[in-house]
Amino acid sequence: MAADYSIDKCPPLPEVEGVEIRHVPGFPGYIVGTDGNVWSCRQGGIREMIKPWRKLKGPPSAGRGYRMVQLGASHYRMIHRLVLQVFVGKAPPGHQSRHLDGNLSNNRLDNLCWGTAKENEADKVAHGTKLFGEQSPLAKLTAAKVLAIRKQRGKQTQAKLAEEFGVCSATIAHIMTRRNWKHLP
């Protein structure tokens, strides 16, 4: 027997001062507010709505810092995207969600908007959350090593430098042409 979940079976929406609350389309028993909170009146395993509404606590996702929430048995959603989809609409093609203040836990509607990848990267630079150079967990080189590589321009082959520093020749070429590590002199 399928669960009988529908919006009309839900209790009245909670009233929170200064917060608009809407049902999450496609997920009866779940609501989201402009304050970034997600609520449920469902209980796992029970085939009917329960009362009262309760806030769901979304843990950060896989080390990336975005908060996620589980809707139903197997649907996981990032809260910032859920807020935008419910209150603004689906992302235009080629757009992603932006946290305007750089705080990935601040999922208030007034801190979120859809934007291009370029706009999102500019935001990260503006609020200091973009990882440059050795701040990146993927970096194999330090700033000092990059500067040492650049000093060898025209003195050693890229292949020799790549071998010496344990990276590929393309990485050396990107360092020399300032495609990578361009924040360094």
Q: Enter the pTM of the model.
A: 0.75
**111-114: long-range pairs with CB below 8 Å, 24+:** 112/80, 112/83, 112/84, 113/84, 113/88, 114/84, 114/88
The three state secondary structure string of 90-123 is CCCCCEEEEECCCCCCCCCHHHEEEEEHHHHHHH
- Among 118, 58, 111, 120, CA closest to 88: 111
Per the model's pLDDT, the better-predicted residue between 55 and 6 turns out to be 55
Q: What residues does 21 pair with on adjacent strands?
A: 33
Number of Cβ within 10 Å of residue 19's Cβ equals 14
DSSP 155: T
Query: Which domains can be identified in the chain, with CATH numbers?
Result: 7-126 (3.90.75.20), 133-176 (no CATH)
pLDDT reported for residue 128? 83
Q: What percent of the chain is modeled with pLDDT above 90?
A: 56
Write the pLDDT tens digit of every residue in 6-51. 667 778 888 899 999 999 998 888 999 999 999 998 876 555 667 7
Q: Are 184 and 133 contacting, i.e. CB atoms less than 8 angstroms apart? A: yes
Q: Are 93 and 114 contacting, i.e. CB atoms less than 8 angstroms apart? A: no
pLDDT reported for residue 1? 35
* Mean pLDDT of all residues in 91-118: 95
pLDDT reported for residue 129? 83
The structure tokens listed for 119 are 């706009």
pLDDT reported for residue 183? 84
pLDDT reported for residue 61? 67
Write the pLDDT tens digit of every residue in 124-181. 889 888 888 888 888 899 999 999 999 999 999 999 999 999 999 999 999 999 999 9
The structure tokens listed for 88 are 């603004």
